[in-house]
Chains A and B, each alone.
Chain A
């Protein structure tokens, strides 16, 4: 069975601080996909990033960066110079192999509530 753990329930920072959201996953699949989604107060889940299990190259996109480490089964997400608009619930999610007839259904972590104060 797949499992995603986001140990941080809530994080509160002041604007311009850097913040890292932790995600640890469990899966028996050798091929899998990891995602981060953002859920602002409006409620709609917004896709942020996707990584497959073969690609451990970390990436920076603007103020966002991701650190994927298979050795520790972690997929952490960092926001640099946080802004008030970053306030939202952030979900880490895991999906099984996309090949063949697999479904790609997502297993979500419990979410981390990020509050950025001005």
Chain B
């Protein structure tokens, strides 16, 4: 079946611009996560969505970052007024909720470069 898809695969933007990154999880997976991978910080958790529950935003680095998940499926991560330190690969993952903890399946990521 189809895996997690993300778009765009690459995004170059100027400092101060807003960007939107999209994630399409595996069909039927109710849990969705955003992570960021950067040279200095490694892989960091950003935000988590589970069904209709309030998201866990504890990993968002600043209020310039926000995310939403519409209809329990597609998610969009928005970064406002981008800064050079936002340059990173943004990874989305989904997981099937159930008994025990299933593994997370990751998308190919969006490489964001802020110039």
Contact = CB atoms under 8 A, between A and B. Distances in A.
B43 A33 contact: no
A47 B56 CA distance: 23
Contact of A104 (B35, B43, B95): B95
Interface string A37-55: 1000011111100101000
A78 interface: no
B23 to A, nearest CB: 13
A68 B73 CA distance: 35
A35 B43 CA distance: 14
B107 interface: yes
A110 B103 contact: no
A71 interface: no
A62 B63 CA distance: 46
B36 to A, nearest CB: 11
A97 B106 CA distance: 20
A43 B35 contact: no
Main secondary structure of the interface of B (DSSP, over half): strand
A106 interface: yes
A101 B100 CA distance: 12
Interface residues of A, number: 26
A50 B56 contact: no
Contacts of B108: 42-44
B100 A106 contact: no
27 contacts: A33-B101, A42-B108, A43-B89, A43-B109, A44-B107, A44-B109, A46-B106, A47-B103, A50-B101, A50-B102, A52-B101, A93-B43, A95-B101, A97-B101, A101-B50, A101-B53, A103-B48, A104-B95, A104-B101, A105-B48, A105-B59, A106-B43, A106-B104, A108-B42, A108-B44, A110-B42, A111-B42
A36 B19 CA distance: 31
A45 B101 contact: no
